Amino acid sequence: MTGRIFLKLIAGVLGLLLLALLTVDYFTTRVAKQVYIDSLVRQATDKARTLALLLDDIGAVGQPAARAMAAAAGGRLTLVRSDGRVTVDSEADAAQMENHAARPEIRQALAGEPGWAIRRSGTLGIPFLYVAAPCRGGAVRLAVPYAQVETQVAQIRAKILISTALAFVPAILVAALLARWISRHFATIMAHAGELAGGNFRARLAVTGGSEFGQLSRTLNDTAANLQRTVEQLQLEHSELERLERIRKDFVINVSHELRTPLASIQGYTETLLDGALADPQYNMRFLGIIRHNAERLARLTEDLLTLSRVEQKRQKLEFEPHSIGGLIEESMDLVRPIAAKSSIRLETELDAATPEVWCDGEAVSQILSNLLDNAIKYTPAGGSIVAGAYPAGRFVEVFVRDSGAGIPAEDLPRLFERFYRVDKARSRELGGTGLGLSIVKHLVGAHNGTVRVESRVQEGSTFFFTLPAEEAALPKETAVAG
Ligand SMILES: Nc1ncnc2c1ncn2[C@@H]1O[C@H](COP(=O)(O)OP(=O)(O)OP(=O)(O)O)[C@@H](O)[C@H]1O
Ligand SMILES: [Mg+2]
Protein backbone atom coordinates (compact mmCIF):
# COMPACT_ATOMS: atom_id res chain seq x y z
CA MET A 1 0.00 0.00 0.00
CA THR A 2 2.80 2.40 1.01
CA GLY A 3 4.59 1.51 -2.27
CA ARG A 4 1.58 2.33 -4.43
CA ILE A 5 0.99 5.74 -2.84
CA PHE A 6 4.70 6.49 -3.04
CA LEU A 7 4.85 5.56 -6.76
CA LYS A 8 1.79 7.66 -7.57
CA LEU A 9 3.19 10.70 -5.77
CA ILE A 10 6.62 10.32 -7.38
CA ALA A 11 5.09 9.76 -10.85
CA GLY A 12 3.03 12.93 -10.36
CA VAL A 13 6.07 14.96 -9.33
CA LEU A 14 8.17 13.61 -12.24
CA GLY A 15 5.35 14.36 -14.69
CA LEU A 16 5.20 17.94 -13.41
CA LEU A 17 8.97 18.36 -13.68
CA LEU A 18 8.92 16.98 -17.24
CA LEU A 19 6.21 19.45 -18.19
CA ALA A 20 8.28 22.25 -16.64
CA LEU A 21 11.32 21.05 -18.61
CA LEU A 22 9.38 21.05 -21.91
CA THR A 23 8.07 24.56 -21.21
CA VAL A 24 11.55 25.80 -20.38
CA ASP A 25 12.88 24.17 -23.56
CA TYR A 26 10.20 25.70 -25.76
CA PHE A 27 10.75 29.23 -24.50
CA THR A 28 14.54 29.09 -24.21
CA THR A 29 14.81 27.79 -27.78
CA ARG A 30 12.75 30.71 -29.05
CA VAL A 31 14.55 33.29 -26.97
CA ALA A 32 18.02 31.85 -27.68
CA LYS A 33 17.33 31.81 -31.44
CA GLN A 34 16.10 35.39 -31.36
CA VAL A 35 19.02 36.61 -29.28
CA TYR A 36 21.56 34.73 -31.40
CA ILE A 37 20.09 35.97 -34.70
CA ASP A 38 19.98 39.56 -33.37
CA SER A 39 23.63 39.47 -32.33
CA LEU A 40 24.69 37.77 -35.61
CA VAL A 41 22.81 40.36 -37.64
CA ARG A 42 24.48 43.13 -35.63
CA GLN A 43 27.97 41.67 -36.08
CA ALA A 44 27.49 40.94 -39.80
CA THR A 45 26.00 44.42 -40.35
CA ASP A 46 29.05 45.99 -38.67
CA LYS A 47 31.38 43.93 -40.88
CA ALA A 48 29.36 44.81 -44.03
CA ARG A 49 29.47 48.48 -43.06
CA THR A 50 33.24 48.35 -42.51
CA LEU A 51 33.73 46.72 -45.90
CA ALA A 52 31.42 49.31 -47.48
CA LEU A 53 33.61 52.08 -46.09
CA LEU A 54 36.76 50.45 -47.45
CA LEU A 55 35.42 49.83 -50.94
CA ASP A 56 35.82 52.76 -53.34
CA ASP A 57 34.70 51.07 -56.48
CA ILE A 58 32.83 47.83 -56.20
CA GLY A 59 33.35 47.16 -59.89
CA ALA A 60 37.10 46.95 -59.30
CA VAL A 61 36.98 44.01 -56.84
CA GLY A 62 37.90 40.68 -58.37
CA GLN A 63 36.86 37.28 -57.14
CA PRO A 64 40.19 36.47 -55.32
CA ALA A 65 39.93 39.72 -53.38
CA ALA A 66 36.26 39.01 -52.66
CA ARG A 67 37.22 35.54 -51.37
CA ALA A 68 39.90 37.01 -49.11
CA MET A 69 37.50 39.57 -47.71
CA ALA A 70 34.78 36.90 -47.25
CA ALA A 71 37.21 34.65 -45.36
CA ALA A 72 38.22 37.57 -43.13
CA ALA A 73 34.57 38.44 -42.45
CA GLY A 74 33.66 34.80 -41.89
CA GLY A 75 30.92 34.45 -44.54
CA ARG A 76 30.07 34.73 -48.21
CA LEU A 77 30.55 38.15 -49.83
CA THR A 78 28.46 39.52 -52.67
CA LEU A 79 28.81 43.02 -54.18
CA VAL A 80 25.78 44.40 -55.97
CA ARG A 81 25.46 47.47 -58.11
CA SER A 82 22.78 50.09 -57.66
CA ASP A 83 20.77 48.50 -60.49
CA GLY A 84 20.86 45.10 -58.78
CA ARG A 85 23.44 43.39 -60.92
CA VAL A 86 26.03 41.32 -59.05
CA THR A 87 29.59 42.53 -59.69
CA VAL A 88 31.37 39.79 -57.77
CA ASP A 89 30.55 36.87 -55.40
CA SER A 90 33.08 35.04 -53.22
CA GLU A 91 31.57 31.67 -53.95
CA ALA A 92 29.72 31.89 -57.28
CA ASP A 93 30.22 33.21 -60.73
CA ALA A 94 28.73 36.69 -60.79
CA ALA A 95 27.93 36.48 -64.49
CA GLN A 96 25.66 33.50 -63.83
CA MET A 97 23.74 35.19 -61.02
CA GLU A 98 20.41 36.89 -61.58
CA ASN A 99 19.61 40.47 -60.76
CA HIS A 100 19.47 40.96 -57.00
CA ALA A 101 17.50 44.23 -56.91
CA ALA A 102 14.38 42.41 -55.63
CA ARG A 103 16.15 40.67 -52.69
CA PRO A 104 14.68 42.29 -49.54
CA GLU A 105 18.07 42.97 -47.83
CA ILE A 106 19.52 44.42 -51.09
CA ARG A 107 16.45 46.54 -51.68
CA GLN A 108 16.78 48.04 -48.23
CA ALA A 109 20.57 48.60 -48.57
CA LEU A 110 20.09 50.27 -51.96
CA ALA A 111 17.50 52.47 -50.29
CA GLY A 112 20.28 53.61 -47.90
CA GLU A 113 19.62 51.48 -44.76
CA PRO A 114 21.24 48.18 -43.72
CA GLY A 115 18.87 45.24 -44.23
CA TRP A 116 18.74 41.55 -43.43
CA ALA A 117 16.79 38.39 -44.38
CA ILE A 118 16.83 34.65 -43.90
CA ARG A 119 16.07 32.46 -46.92
CA ARG A 120 17.27 29.64 -49.08
CA SER A 121 19.96 30.71 -51.55
CA GLY A 122 18.85 30.46 -55.19
CA THR A 123 22.50 29.98 -56.18
CA LEU A 124 23.73 27.50 -53.47
CA GLY A 125 20.43 25.84 -52.48
CA ILE A 126 20.92 26.09 -48.64
CA PRO A 127 19.37 28.55 -46.15
CA PHE A 128 21.43 31.67 -45.40
CA LEU A 129 21.26 34.69 -43.17
CA TYR A 130 21.85 37.68 -45.45
CA VAL A 131 23.01 41.09 -44.25
CA ALA A 132 23.45 44.01 -46.66
CA ALA A 133 24.84 47.56 -46.16
CA PRO A 134 24.83 50.46 -48.61
CA CYS A 135 28.17 51.43 -50.23
CA ARG A 136 29.33 53.70 -52.89
CA GLY A 137 27.76 52.53 -56.20
CA GLY A 138 25.64 49.75 -54.69
CA ALA A 139 25.51 47.38 -51.72
CA VAL A 140 27.81 45.02 -49.83
CA ARG A 141 26.22 41.75 -48.78
CA LEU A 142 27.51 39.18 -46.31
CA ALA A 143 25.84 35.77 -46.01
CA VAL A 144 26.26 33.23 -43.18
CA PRO A 145 24.86 29.68 -43.54
CA TYR A 146 21.75 29.44 -41.42
CA ALA A 147 22.88 25.99 -40.24
CA GLN A 148 25.39 27.85 -38.07
CA VAL A 149 22.48 29.52 -36.22
CA GLU A 150 20.80 26.15 -35.70
CA THR A 151 24.04 24.60 -34.36
CA GLN A 152 24.61 27.46 -31.94
CA VAL A 153 21.01 27.45 -30.73
CA ALA A 154 21.14 23.67 -30.29
CA GLN A 155 24.26 24.05 -28.14
CA ILE A 156 22.69 26.76 -26.00
CA ARG A 157 19.52 24.70 -25.71
CA ALA A 158 21.46 21.58 -24.66
CA LYS A 159 23.31 23.54 -21.99
CA ILE A 160 20.10 25.07 -20.61
CA LEU A 161 18.35 21.71 -20.63
CA ILE A 162 21.20 19.99 -18.82
CA SER A 163 21.50 22.70 -16.18
CA THR A 164 17.73 22.78 -15.68
CA ALA A 165 17.64 18.99 -15.34
CA LEU A 166 20.52 19.20 -12.83
CA ALA A 167 18.62 21.86 -10.92
CA PHE A 168 15.69 19.44 -10.76
CA VAL A 169 17.78 16.72 -9.04
CA PRO A 170 17.50 18.23 -5.54
CA ALA A 171 13.84 18.95 -6.26
CA ILE A 172 13.32 15.29 -7.14
CA LEU A 173 15.16 14.18 -3.98
CA VAL A 174 13.08 16.50 -1.80
CA ALA A 175 9.93 15.30 -3.60
CA ALA A 176 10.92 11.67 -3.00
CA LEU A 177 11.48 12.30 0.71
CA LEU A 178 8.18 14.15 0.91
CA ALA A 179 6.39 11.38 -0.99
CA ARG A 180 7.86 8.79 1.38
CA TRP A 181 6.79 10.83 4.40
CA ILE A 182 3.26 11.30 3.04
CA SER A 183 2.88 7.68 1.94
CA ARG A 184 4.09 6.38 5.33
CA HIS A 185 1.60 8.58 7.19
CA PHE A 186 -1.15 7.51 4.83
CA ALA A 187 -0.28 3.86 5.34
CA THR A 188 -0.33 4.27 9.14
CA ILE A 189 -3.66 6.07 9.05
CA MET A 190 -5.18 3.51 6.68
CA ALA A 191 -3.98 0.65 8.90
CA HIS A 192 -5.51 2.46 11.87
CA ALA A 193 -8.80 2.96 10.03
CA GLY A 194 -8.75 -0.77 9.30
CA GLU A 195 -8.37 -1.49 13.03
CA LEU A 196 -11.32 0.78 13.84
CA ALA A 197 -13.41 -0.82 11.10
CA GLY A 198 -12.54 -4.18 12.66
CA GLY A 199 -13.90 -3.01 16.02
CA ASN A 200 -10.61 -2.38 17.82
CA PHE A 201 -11.43 1.00 19.36
CA ARG A 202 -8.51 0.77 21.77
CA ALA A 203 -6.07 1.34 18.88
CA ARG A 204 -4.43 4.79 19.01
CA LEU A 205 -2.24 6.67 16.52
CA ALA A 206 0.99 8.28 17.68
CA VAL A 207 0.27 12.00 17.28
CA THR A 208 3.20 13.84 15.70
CA GLY A 209 3.29 17.62 15.46
CA GLY A 210 0.69 20.03 14.24
CA SER A 211 0.72 18.98 10.56
CA GLU A 212 -2.53 17.95 8.86
CA PHE A 213 -1.53 14.36 9.62
CA GLY A 214 -1.10 15.26 13.30
CA GLN A 215 -4.52 16.88 13.35
CA LEU A 216 -6.06 13.94 11.49
CA SER A 217 -4.45 11.54 13.98
CA ARG A 218 -5.83 13.54 16.87
CA THR A 219 -9.32 13.58 15.34
CA LEU A 220 -9.19 9.83 14.68
CA ASN A 221 -7.97 9.21 18.24
CA ASP A 222 -10.80 11.32 19.62
CA THR A 223 -13.28 9.41 17.45
CA ALA A 224 -11.86 6.09 18.63
CA ALA A 225 -12.02 7.24 22.25
CA ASN A 226 -15.66 8.29 21.80
CA LEU A 227 -16.53 4.97 20.19
CA GLN A 228 -14.67 3.16 22.95
CA ARG A 229 -16.59 5.09 25.62
CA THR A 230 -19.91 4.40 23.88
CA VAL A 231 -19.15 0.70 23.51
CA GLU A 232 -18.05 0.43 27.16
CA GLN A 233 -21.16 2.30 28.25
CA LEU A 234 -23.34 -0.07 26.23
CA GLN A 235 -21.49 -3.10 27.62
CA LEU A 236 -21.94 -1.71 31.12
CA GLU A 237 -25.64 -1.13 30.53
CA HIS A 238 -25.94 -4.58 29.03
CA SER A 239 -24.28 -6.29 32.00
CA GLU A 240 -26.35 -4.13 34.38
CA LEU A 241 -29.49 -5.31 32.58
CA GLU A 242 -28.27 -8.90 32.83
CA ARG A 243 -27.55 -8.39 36.55
CA LEU A 244 -31.01 -6.94 37.13
CA GLU A 245 -32.59 -9.79 35.20
CA ARG A 246 -30.67 -12.29 37.36
CA ILE A 247 -31.81 -10.51 40.50
CA ARG A 248 -35.41 -10.53 39.26
CA LYS A 249 -35.26 -14.28 38.53
CA ASP A 250 -33.63 -15.01 41.90
CA PHE A 251 -36.27 -12.93 43.62
CA VAL A 252 -39.14 -14.79 41.92
CA ILE A 253 -37.54 -18.15 42.81
CA ASN A 254 -36.95 -17.06 46.43
CA VAL A 255 -40.45 -15.68 46.90
CA SER A 256 -42.10 -18.79 45.44
CA HIS A 257 -39.90 -20.97 47.62
CA GLU A 258 -40.68 -18.98 50.76
CA LEU A 259 -44.41 -19.10 49.99
CA ARG A 260 -44.45 -22.79 49.09
CA THR A 261 -43.12 -24.12 52.42
CA PRO A 262 -45.78 -22.61 54.75
CA LEU A 263 -48.52 -23.14 52.15
CA ALA A 264 -47.62 -26.84 51.81
CA SER A 265 -47.59 -27.15 55.59
CA ILE A 266 -51.02 -25.48 55.92
CA GLN A 267 -52.40 -27.66 53.12
CA GLY A 268 -50.95 -30.89 54.63
CA TYR A 269 -52.24 -30.26 58.19
CA THR A 270 -55.65 -29.08 56.96
CA GLU A 271 -56.08 -32.30 54.96
CA THR A 272 -54.98 -34.39 57.95
CA LEU A 273 -57.54 -32.60 60.15
CA LEU A 274 -60.29 -33.08 57.54
CA ASP A 275 -59.35 -36.74 57.18
CA GLY A 276 -60.28 -37.32 60.82
CA ALA A 277 -57.62 -35.76 63.01
CA LEU A 278 -60.04 -32.93 63.84
CA ALA A 279 -61.87 -35.31 66.18
CA ASP A 280 -58.64 -36.48 67.77
CA PRO A 281 -58.07 -34.30 70.85
CA GLN A 282 -54.46 -35.48 71.04
CA TYR A 283 -53.51 -33.82 67.73
CA ASN A 284 -56.17 -31.32 66.66
CA MET A 285 -54.96 -28.39 68.79
CA ARG A 286 -51.31 -29.00 67.89
CA PHE A 287 -52.10 -29.17 64.15
CA LEU A 288 -54.20 -26.02 64.35
CA GLY A 289 -51.31 -24.33 66.15
CA ILE A 290 -48.95 -25.28 63.30
CA ILE A 291 -51.45 -23.99 60.74
CA ARG A 292 -51.72 -20.67 62.62
CA HIS A 293 -47.92 -20.41 62.89
CA ASN A 294 -47.56 -20.88 59.11
CA ALA A 295 -50.36 -18.46 58.36
CA GLU A 296 -48.61 -15.85 60.54
CA ARG A 297 -45.40 -16.57 58.71
CA LEU A 298 -47.14 -16.01 55.36
CA ALA A 299 -48.64 -12.78 56.62
CA ARG A 300 -45.23 -11.55 57.84
CA LEU A 301 -43.59 -12.51 54.58
CA THR A 302 -46.14 -10.73 52.41
CA GLU A 303 -46.01 -7.69 54.67
CA ASP A 304 -42.19 -7.60 54.47
CA LEU A 305 -42.34 -7.97 50.67
CA LEU A 306 -44.83 -5.12 50.41
CA THR A 307 -42.74 -2.89 52.69
CA LEU A 308 -39.60 -3.68 50.71
CA SER A 309 -41.18 -2.96 47.35
CA ARG A 310 -42.70 0.29 48.70
CA VAL A 311 -39.33 1.47 50.02
CA GLU A 312 -37.39 0.30 46.96
CA GLN A 313 -39.72 2.09 44.59
CA LYS A 314 -39.70 5.12 46.87
CA ARG A 315 -43.47 4.88 47.21
CA GLN A 316 -43.29 4.90 51.02
CA LYS A 317 -44.07 8.48 51.95
CA LEU A 318 -41.59 9.58 54.58
CA GLU A 319 -42.25 12.55 56.79
CA PHE A 320 -39.03 14.10 57.99
CA GLU A 321 -39.12 15.84 61.30
CA PRO A 322 -36.60 16.47 64.09
CA HIS A 323 -36.62 13.55 66.56
CA SER A 324 -34.70 12.64 69.67
CA ILE A 325 -32.84 9.48 68.67
CA GLY A 326 -32.56 8.49 72.36
CA GLY A 327 -36.35 8.55 72.57
CA LEU A 328 -36.76 6.42 69.45
CA ILE A 329 -34.22 3.87 70.76
CA GLU A 330 -36.01 3.65 74.11
CA GLU A 331 -39.41 3.13 72.42
CA SER A 332 -38.05 0.29 70.28
CA MET A 333 -36.29 -1.25 73.27
CA ASP A 334 -39.55 -1.20 75.25
CA LEU A 335 -41.30 -3.12 72.47
CA VAL A 336 -38.81 -6.01 72.56
CA ARG A 337 -38.18 -5.97 76.31
CA PRO A 338 -40.62 -8.86 77.06
CA ILE A 339 -39.05 -11.11 74.38
CA ALA A 340 -35.55 -10.30 75.61
CA ALA A 341 -36.57 -11.00 79.18
CA LYS A 342 -37.84 -14.42 78.12
CA SER A 343 -34.31 -15.28 76.87
CA SER A 344 -32.64 -13.58 79.85
CA ILE A 345 -30.98 -11.05 77.56
CA ARG A 346 -29.98 -7.71 79.07
CA LEU A 347 -30.94 -4.55 77.14
CA GLU A 348 -28.95 -1.33 77.63
CA THR A 349 -28.70 2.08 75.96
CA GLU A 350 -25.50 4.06 75.52
CA LEU A 351 -26.24 7.57 74.29
CA ASP A 352 -23.52 10.18 73.80
CA ALA A 353 -24.66 13.33 75.57
CA ALA A 354 -23.61 15.48 72.59
CA THR A 355 -25.92 13.63 70.17
CA PRO A 356 -28.15 16.15 68.39
CA GLU A 357 -31.67 15.55 67.22
CA VAL A 358 -32.01 13.68 63.94
CA TRP A 359 -34.10 14.61 60.88
CA CYS A 360 -36.04 11.45 60.13
CA ASP A 361 -39.34 9.70 59.66
CA GLY A 362 -40.03 8.40 63.20
CA GLU A 363 -41.94 5.35 62.03
CA ALA A 364 -39.26 4.34 59.53
CA VAL A 365 -36.50 4.64 62.17
CA SER A 366 -38.56 2.54 64.60
CA GLN A 367 -38.88 -0.07 61.85
CA ILE A 368 -35.10 -0.03 61.35
CA LEU A 369 -34.41 -0.32 65.07
CA SER A 370 -36.93 -3.09 65.66
CA ASN A 371 -35.47 -5.13 62.76
CA LEU A 372 -31.96 -4.79 64.22
CA LEU A 373 -33.10 -5.50 67.79
CA ASP A 374 -35.17 -8.45 66.56
CA ASN A 375 -32.08 -9.92 64.87
CA ALA A 376 -29.87 -9.23 67.90
CA ILE A 377 -32.30 -11.07 70.18
CA LYS A 378 -32.80 -13.93 67.69
CA TYR A 379 -29.08 -14.54 67.24
CA THR A 380 -27.94 -13.99 70.85
CA PRO A 381 -28.01 -16.93 73.24
CA ALA A 382 -29.63 -16.70 76.66
CA GLY A 383 -27.69 -14.64 79.19
CA GLY A 384 -26.25 -12.35 76.54
CA SER A 385 -26.55 -8.60 76.28
CA ILE A 386 -27.63 -6.04 73.71
CA VAL A 387 -26.57 -2.39 73.71
CA ALA A 388 -28.15 0.24 71.47
CA GLY A 389 -26.99 3.84 71.27
CA ALA A 390 -25.94 6.82 69.15
CA TYR A 391 -23.24 9.46 68.85
CA PRO A 392 -22.60 12.47 66.57
CA ALA A 393 -20.73 11.89 63.28
CA GLY A 394 -20.29 15.21 61.43
CA ARG A 395 -23.53 16.24 59.74
CA PHE A 396 -24.93 12.85 60.72
CA VAL A 397 -25.64 10.82 63.83
CA GLU A 398 -24.45 7.23 63.89
CA VAL A 399 -26.78 4.75 65.60
CA PHE A 400 -25.63 1.26 66.61
CA VAL A 401 -27.08 -2.00 67.90
CA ARG A 402 -24.45 -4.25 69.48
CA ASP A 403 -25.01 -7.83 70.66
CA SER A 404 -22.89 -10.48 72.33
CA GLY A 405 -24.38 -13.15 70.05
CA ALA A 406 -23.27 -15.75 67.55
CA GLY A 407 -21.49 -13.32 65.23
CA ILE A 408 -21.33 -13.57 61.43
CA PRO A 409 -18.51 -15.19 59.39
CA ALA A 410 -16.45 -12.59 57.46
CA GLU A 411 -17.31 -14.14 54.07
CA ASP A 412 -21.05 -13.53 54.65
CA LEU A 413 -20.71 -9.87 55.61
CA PRO A 414 -20.58 -8.38 52.06
CA ARG A 415 -23.91 -10.01 51.09
CA LEU A 416 -25.74 -9.61 54.40
CA PHE A 417 -27.99 -6.77 53.25
CA GLU A 418 -29.17 -8.59 50.08
CA ARG A 419 -32.78 -9.72 49.86
CA PHE A 420 -33.32 -13.27 51.22
CA TYR A 421 -29.66 -13.60 52.22
CA ARG A 422 -29.33 -15.67 55.38
CA VAL A 423 -26.15 -17.01 56.93
CA ASP A 424 -27.74 -20.18 58.16
CA LYS A 425 -30.93 -20.69 56.17
CA ALA A 426 -32.28 -23.55 58.22
CA ARG A 427 -31.71 -21.82 61.56
CA SER A 428 -33.11 -18.51 60.35
CA ARG A 429 -36.26 -20.16 58.99
CA GLU A 430 -36.63 -22.06 62.23
CA LEU A 431 -36.56 -18.69 63.98
CA GLY A 432 -39.24 -17.41 61.63
CA GLY A 433 -36.88 -15.30 59.48
CA THR A 434 -37.22 -14.72 55.74
CA GLY A 435 -34.00 -12.79 55.12
CA LEU A 436 -35.78 -9.53 54.19
CA GLY A 437 -35.24 -7.60 57.45
CA LEU A 438 -31.76 -6.19 56.74
CA SER A 439 -32.71 -5.44 53.13
CA ILE A 440 -35.60 -3.30 54.41
CA VAL A 441 -33.21 -1.64 56.92
CA LYS A 442 -30.73 -0.77 54.14
CA HIS A 443 -33.41 0.81 51.94
CA LEU A 444 -35.02 2.79 54.77
CA VAL A 445 -31.60 4.14 55.83
CA GLY A 446 -30.85 4.97 52.16
CA ALA A 447 -34.11 6.94 51.98
CA HIS A 448 -32.63 9.15 54.76
CA ASN A 449 -29.37 9.66 52.80
CA GLY A 450 -27.65 7.47 55.40
CA THR A 451 -25.44 4.38 55.18
CA VAL A 452 -25.40 0.99 56.89
CA ARG A 453 -22.46 -1.17 57.90
CA VAL A 454 -21.74 -4.10 60.12
CA GLU A 455 -18.82 -5.30 62.24
CA SER A 456 -18.89 -8.85 63.51
CA ARG A 457 -16.71 -11.64 64.94
CA VAL A 458 -17.92 -15.21 65.19
CA GLN A 459 -18.69 -16.20 68.83
CA GLU A 460 -18.09 -12.64 70.03
CA GLY A 461 -21.02 -10.73 68.63
CA SER A 462 -22.08 -8.23 65.98
CA THR A 463 -22.58 -4.47 65.78
CA PHE A 464 -24.86 -2.94 63.14
CA PHE A 465 -24.40 0.79 62.45
CA PHE A 466 -26.51 3.23 60.46
CA THR A 467 -26.42 6.99 60.00
CA LEU A 468 -29.21 9.56 60.01
CA PRO A 469 -29.02 13.26 59.08
CA ALA A 470 -28.36 15.59 62.04
CA GLU A 471 -29.50 18.63 60.08
CA GLU A 472 -32.12 19.38 57.48
CA ALA A 473 -29.48 20.17 54.80
CA ALA A 474 -28.24 16.55 54.85
CA LEU A 475 -31.66 15.16 53.91
CA PRO A 476 -32.20 13.61 50.47
CA LYS A 477 -32.78 16.36 47.87
CA GLU A 478 -36.01 15.02 46.40
CA THR A 479 -37.88 14.73 49.72
CA ALA A 480 -40.29 17.35 50.85
CA VAL A 481 -40.02 17.97 54.53
CA ALA A 482 -43.27 17.70 56.35
CA GLY A 483 -44.28 19.91 59.24
N1 LIG B 1 -27.29 -9.76 65.10
C2 LIG B 1 -27.00 -10.78 64.30
N3 LIG B 1 -26.16 -11.76 64.68
C4 LIG B 1 -25.90 -12.79 63.87
N5 LIG B 1 -26.40 -12.95 62.63
C6 LIG B 1 -27.23 -12.02 62.20
C7 LIG B 1 -27.58 -10.88 62.97
N8 LIG B 1 -28.43 -10.12 62.27
C9 LIG B 1 -28.60 -10.74 61.08
N10 LIG B 1 -27.88 -11.86 61.01
C11 LIG B 1 -27.78 -12.80 59.89
O12 LIG B 1 -28.20 -12.09 58.73
C13 LIG B 1 -29.27 -12.77 58.07
C14 LIG B 1 -30.17 -11.76 57.45
O15 LIG B 1 -30.86 -11.00 58.40
P16 LIG B 1 -32.30 -10.47 58.09
O17 LIG B 1 -32.76 -9.67 59.21
O18 LIG B 1 -32.24 -9.82 56.75
O19 LIG B 1 -33.13 -11.78 57.93
P20 LIG B 1 -33.80 -12.70 59.03
O21 LIG B 1 -33.61 -12.12 60.37
O22 LIG B 1 -33.28 -14.07 58.80
O23 LIG B 1 -35.30 -12.67 58.59
P24 LIG B 1 -36.33 -11.46 58.76
O25 LIG B 1 -36.74 -11.14 57.38
O26 LIG B 1 -37.45 -12.01 59.58
O27 LIG B 1 -35.63 -10.36 59.47
C28 LIG B 1 -29.89 -13.58 59.15
O29 LIG B 1 -30.54 -14.69 58.60
C30 LIG B 1 -28.71 -13.98 60.00
O31 LIG B 1 -28.10 -15.12 59.45
MG1 LIG C 1 -34.25 -10.05 60.79
Going from the Cα of 438 to the center of ligand 1, the distance in angstroms, rounded, reads 7
Angstrom CA distances, 103 to 45, 83, 94, 110, 147, stand at 16, 12, 15, 10, 20
H or E element, residue 32:
helix 2-54
Q: Which residues pair with 128 in a beta bridge?
A: 119, 145
Closest residue CA from atom 19 of ligand 1: 435
Query: Predicted confidence band at 479 (pLDDT cuts at 50, 70, 90)?
Result: low
Q: Give me the pLDDT at residue 213, please.
A: 84
Q: Does any domain span residue 401? A: yes
Asked, for residue 181, whether it belongs to a domain, the answer is: no
Do residues 12 and 138 both lie within one domain?
A: yes
CB 101 within 8 A of CB 83: yes
Residues 222 and 301 in one domain: yes
CATH of the domain at 443: 3.30.565.10
Indicate which residue's Cα is closest to atom 8 of ligand 1: 375
User: Residues with Cβ < 8 Å from 248, sequence gap 6 or more?
Assistant: none
Residue 235 burial (C-beta neighbours within 10 Å; 0-12, 13-18, 19+): exposed
Q: Are strands 321-323 and 346-351 parallel, antiparallel or unpaired?
A: unpaired
Same domain, 262 and 282: yes
Ligand 1 centre from 424 Cα, in Å?
Answer: 9
Mean pLDDT for 151-165 is 88
> Is 93 part of a structural domain of the chain?
yes
Q: Which helix (H) or strand (E) holds 117?
A: strand 115-120
- Measure 53 CA to ligand 1 centroid, in angstroms: 140
Claim to verify: residue 348 and residue 457 sit in the same structural domain = yes
Largest Cα separation within the chain, whole Å, is 181
Confidence check: pLDDT of 457 > 60: yes
Per-residue pLDDT tens digits for 381-392:
999 999 999 999
Specify the ligand 1 atom closest to the Cα of 304: 25
From atom 9 of ligand 1, which residue's Cα is the shortest distance away?
375
pLDDT at position 2: 67
Tell me the ligand closest to 303's alpha carbon: 1
Does position 478 have pLDDT exceeding 80, yes or no? no
Q: Is residue 237 part of a domain?
A: yes
- The residue to mutate among 370, 438, 455, having the most atoms of ligand 1 within 8 angstroms of its beta carbon, is 438
Class of residue 95 by CB neighbours under 10 A (exposed 0-12, middle 13-18, buried 19+): exposed
Separation CA 295–CA 293 (nearest Å): 6
State if pTM tops 0.85. Answer: no
Are residues 310 and 331 both part of a single domain?
Answer: no
CA of 422 to the centre of ligand 1 (A): 6
Q: Are residues 282 and 146 in the same domain?
A: no
pLDDT value, residue 420: 87
Q: Which string of DSSP letters, residue by residue, matches 368-396?
A: HHHHHHHHHHHTS-TT-EEEEEEEEETTE
* Residue 166 within any structural domain of the chain: no
Residues 6+ apart with CB under 8 A from 461: 380, 384, 402, 403, 404, 405, 407
Mean pLDDT confidence for 255-277? 90
Instruction: Give the mean pLDDT of 229-258.
Output: 90
Confirm whether 177 is domain-assigned. no
Indicate if the pLDDT at residue 134 is higher than 50. Answer: yes
CA distance 225 to 473: 39
At residue 109 the predicted structure's pLDDT band, cuts being 50, 70 and 90, is: very high
Beta-bridge partner residues of 323: 358
**Domain count along the chain:** 3
Report which protein residue has its CA nearest ligand 1's atom 21: 433
In terms of C-beta density within 10 A (0-12 exposed, 13-18 middle, 19 or more buried), how is residue 243 classed?
exposed
Residue having the nearest C-alpha atom to atom 27 of ligand 1: 437
Kindly report the protein residue whose alpha carbon is nearest to atom 29 of ligand 1: 422
Q: How far is the CA of 462 from the centre of ligand 1 (A)?
A: 11
Ligand 1 atom 23: the closest Cα is on which residue?
Answer: 433
Residue 230 sits in the same domain as residue 327: no
Nearest CA to ligand 1 atom 7: 375
Task: State the amino acid at position 102 in one-letter form.
Answer: A
323 and 447 housed in the same domain: yes
Q: Residue 286 sits in a domain of what CATH number?
A: 1.10.287.130
Q: How far is the CA of 51 from the centre of ligand 1 (A)?
A: 137
Domain that holds residue 453: 318-474
Q: To the nearest whole percent, how much of the chain has pLDDT over 90?
A: 56
pLDDT of residue 481: 43
- Ligand 1 mutation target, pool 375, 402, 422, 460, most atoms within 8 A of CB: 375
Name the domain boundary from 284, 300, 315: 315
Residue 98 DSSP class:
P
Residue at which a domain ends, from 283, 315, 347: 315
pLDDT over threshold 80, residue 136:
yes
According to DSSP H, which parts of 198-283 are helical?
A: 212-274
Cα 373 to ligand 2 centroid, rounded to whole Å: 8
Domain check: are 351 and 295 in the same one? Answer: no
pLDDT recorded at residue 63:
92
> pLDDT class for 480, splitting at 50, 70, 90?
very low
Boundary-marking domain end, from 315, 348, 382? 315
Which ligand has an atom closest to residue 420 CA? 1
Rg (the chain; Cα; Å): 59
Distance 351 CA to ligand 1 centre (A): 24
Lowest mean pLDDT among 85-99, 230-244, 303-317: 303-317
- What is the DSSP code (8-state) at residue 434? -
- Within this chain, do residues 468 and 327 fall inside the same structural domain, yes or no? yes
pLDDT of 474 over the 80 cut: no
Q: Kindly list the protein residues whose Cβ atom lies closer than 6 A to any atom of ligand 1.
A: 304, 371, 375-376, 379, 403, 405-406, 408, 416, 421-424, 428, 433-439, 462
Considering the domain architecture, whether residues 393 and 293 belong to the same structural domain is answered as no
Sign of the alpha-carbon dihedral angle for 213, 218, 221, 227: negative
Q: Tell me, yes or no, whether 169 lies in a domain.
A: no
Beta bridge partners of 457: 461
Task: Write the pLDDT tens digit of every residue in 44-63.
Answer: 999 999 999 988 888 888 99
Binned at pLDDT 50, 70 and 90, residue 1 comes out as low
More confident residue, 89 or 476: 89
- Residue 355 and residue 445 in one domain: yes
HSE-CB of 59 using CA atoms within 13 angstroms = 6
Any domain includes 346: yes
Residue 189 has pLDDT above 90, yes or no: no
| Cα of 368 from ligand 1 centre, angstroms | 13
> Taking residues 401-411, what's their average pLDDT?
95
Flag whether pLDDT at 179 surpasses 70: yes
What are φ and ψ of residue 464, in 5° steps? Answer: -100, 135
The number of the ligand 1 atom at minimal distance from the alpha carbon of 461 is: 3
Give the list of residues 6+ apart from residue 346 with CB closer than 8 angstroms, or none: 340, 384, 385, 386
Best of 343, 420, 422 for a ligand 1 pocket test (most atoms within 8 Å of beta carbon):
422
Residue 332: pLDDT over 50: yes
Whose CA is closest to 359, among 219, 233, 482, 260?
482
Single-letter code of the amino acid located at 252: V
The enclosing domain of 111 has a CATH number of: 3.30.450.20
The three-state secondary structure class of 67 is helix
* CA-nearest residue, atom 13 of ligand 1: 422
